[in-house]
């Protein structure tokens, strides 16, 4: 009989592009059912994501939630507390331990991690796998995106993550991280290095490959494409500054923005201020074929994140042969060793120059396009990565 595998994903509330942690969760659910009897504990918005990404799960526990948005700090705190409480209630009222049970908390956010911790506390023989995919920067740090008016929001994020870091470090049996530098922060005398597993993310080539021939004749409507949750960490405001400089040299340049989030209004205000309404399209959250169609109609992926543990959004565009431009963040050195022009942090002028260079230099564009395609096909394919990850995980629990 298969071991039971519980995935707790109560943090996702249907806003913006899927986070890297959400994408990792959906792909684990897609491929790990061959090894485990899978159960999902979530609210209805995450189940909607599974439906859109064509992931079928045999068992679900649907926890009703009344909080859907968290634009303000108050609503953000309310959402955390309500969903955490819902998860705790499920553990106390509905969960019954069976020998061999595994629980995977899909993020370090309280609604995902605290119920999993409680399960571990009540049933020490249960195996807790904790996803921890981005360390919150102290809001006073030099590279923190939470400065000025965002200081309180950054402080809240930092302070709420601290206890979860220590609970995960002390009690989790396995930890999933996204980069080698993060791995060492979870290795202890009780947790060997092989029990902290690096997961860079996935690109669903099983979805991409059938669409490529269908999209081959599409007109390139967009010179640039950006996809992410519209959040300070993703360089969203810098993106508009960059595109302003691109348009100064290339007046008809078009930018597609996929995603939604708390910065959308401020970004739209900047677009209006700079007179870029005809140069920028806000497309909202797109999934599946809608998203891939925009990639196929674009020429360059822009990834101006100012604080990131890696990021897989750019990789999805690269699957369609789009070269990328990013800042030279430490985590991106291993994520994107080829197919991307790295820009000194955080030189907006140089970033715009690199975008223009790719749009003008056909030889360079072709070279990086081929590199991008090769990188995704050989390294990022979700089928390859999940098979390797599952085998490594099974070895650690044998």
Instruction: Summarize pLDDT for 169-187 with one digit per residue, the tens.
Output: 999 999 999 888 889 999 9
What pLDDT, in 10s, does the model give residues 20-48?
A: 788 889 889 989 999 999 999 998 888 88
Residue 67 has pLDDT above 70, yes or no: no
Whether residues 362 and 218 share a domain: the answer is: yes
The answer on 180 and 66 residing in a single domain is: yes
The parent domain of residue 336 ranges over 205-379
Q: Judge if 371 and 252 occupy the same domain.
A: yes
Based on the domain organization, do 367 and 336 belong to the same domain?
yes
Count up the domains in the chain and report the number.
2
Least confident of 144-153, 189-198, 360-369: 144-153
Is a pLDDT exceeding 80 seen at residue 15? no
Q: Are residues 221 and 302 in the same domain?
A: yes
Question: Bigger pLDDT: 66 or 286?
Answer: 286
186 and 233 in one domain? no
Domain with 220 in it: what CATH number? 3.40.50.2000
Burial class (CB in 10 A: 0-12, 13-18, 19+), 282: middle
Do 133 and 252 share a domain, yes or no?
no
Same domain, 258 and 364: yes
Is the pLDDT at 308 greater than 90? The verdict is: no
Please give the average per-residue pLDDT across 200-204, as a whole number. 84
Q: What's the count of helices (H) and strands (E) in the chain, helices before strands? A: 15, 13
- The predicted model scores a pTM of 0.82
Average pLDDT rounded to a whole number, residues 352-373 = 97
Q: Are residues 144 and 231 in the same domain?
A: no
Q: Is 64 exposed, middle or buried (0-12, 13-18, 19+ CB in 10 A)?
A: exposed
Q: Are residues 246 and 279 in the same domain?
A: yes
Average pLDDT, rounded, for the chain: 90
Token look-up 């979805």 returns 207
- Above 70 in pLDDT, residue 14? no
């Amino acid at each position: 009989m298969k071991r039971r595998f519980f995935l707790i994903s109560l943090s996702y509330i249907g806003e913006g592009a899927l986070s890297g942690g959400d994408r990792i969760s959906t792909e684990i659910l897609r491929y790990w059912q061959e090894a485990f009897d899978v159960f999902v504990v979530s609210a209805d918005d995450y189940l909607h994501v599974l439906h859109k990404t064509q992931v079928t799960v045999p068992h679900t526990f649907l926890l009703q939630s009344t909080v859907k948005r968290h634009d303000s700090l108050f609503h953000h705190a309310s959402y955390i507390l309500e969903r955490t409480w819902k998860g705790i209630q499920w553990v106390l009222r509905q969960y019954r331990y069976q020998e061999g049970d595994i629980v995977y908390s899909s993020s370090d956010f309280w609604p995902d991690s605290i119920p999993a911790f409680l399960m571990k506390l009540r049933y020490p023989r249960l195996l807790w796998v904790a996803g921890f995919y981005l360390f919150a920067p102290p809001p006073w740090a030099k590279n923190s995106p939470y400065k000025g008016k965002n200081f309180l929001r950054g402080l809240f994020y930092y302070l709420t993550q601290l206890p979860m870091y220590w609970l995960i470090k002390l009690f989790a049996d396995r930890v999933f991280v996204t980069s080698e530098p993060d791995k060492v922060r979870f290795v202890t005398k009780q947790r060997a290095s092989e029990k902290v597993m690096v997961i860079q993310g996935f690109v669903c080539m099983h979805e991409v490959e059938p669409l490529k021939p269908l999209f081959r004749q599409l007109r390139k409507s967009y010179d640039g494409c950006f996809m992410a949750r519209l959040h300070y960490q993703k360089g969203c405001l810098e993106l508009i500054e960059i595109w302003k400089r691109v348009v100064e040299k290339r007046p008809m340049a078009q930018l597609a923005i996929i995603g939604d989030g708390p910065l959308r209004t401020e970004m739209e205000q900047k677009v209006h201020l700079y007179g870029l309404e005809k140069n920028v399209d806000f497309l909202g959250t797109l999934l599946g074929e809608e998203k891939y169609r925009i990639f196929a109609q674009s020429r360059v992926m822009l990834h101006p994140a100012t604080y990131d543990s890696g990021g897989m959004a750019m990789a999805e565009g690269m699957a369609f042969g789009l070269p990328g431009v990013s800042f030279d963040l430490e985590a991106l050195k291993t994520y994107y060793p080829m197919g991307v022009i790295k820009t000194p942090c955080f030189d907006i002028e140089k970033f715009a120059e690199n975008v223009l260079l790719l749009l003008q230099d056909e030889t360079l564009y072709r070279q990086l396009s081929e590199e991008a395609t090769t990188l995704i096909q050989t390294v990022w394919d979700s089928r390859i990565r999940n098979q390797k990850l599952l085998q490594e995980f099974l070895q650690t629990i044998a």
